[in-house]
């Protein structure tokens, strides 16, 4: 039930605002199309030392290529 609620909440947020990759939880990251557990953890590890200003900054993380970042942009509408 909790996962369903988080998924719905994230969907609602994605409709009306860009995602702040510096603050969202691992579970919220995993709800984004193209991001699984490993990639979500990579984002969390990266943001401990670096600020993520835009979705394009994800390309600085190993495993995030241009194609995936474009897919994430489309699904988060940022």
pLDDT tens-digit map of 2-59 = 777 666 655 655 544 568 899 999 999 999 989 999 999 999 999 999 999 999 999 9
In this structure, whether the domain defined by 2-76 belongs to CATH 1.10.3720.10 is answered with no
46 CB-near residues (< 8 Å, 6+ apart): 52, 60, 61
Q: Is 34 left (phi over 0), alpha (psi -120 to 50) or beta?
A: left
Residue 38 near residue 64, CB atoms below 8 Å: no
Q: Which helix (H) or strand (E) holds 75?
A: helix 66-76
């Amino acid at each position: 039930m909790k996962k369903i609620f988080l998924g719905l909440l994230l969907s609602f947020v994605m409709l009306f605002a860009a995602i702040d990759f510096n603050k969202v939880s691992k579970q919220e990251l995993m709800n984004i199309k193209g991001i699984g557990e490993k990639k979500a953890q990579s984002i969390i590890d990266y943001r401990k030392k670096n600020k993520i200003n835009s979705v394009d900054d994800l390309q600085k993380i190993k495993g995030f290529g241009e194609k995936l970042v474009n897919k994430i942009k489309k699904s988060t509408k940022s």
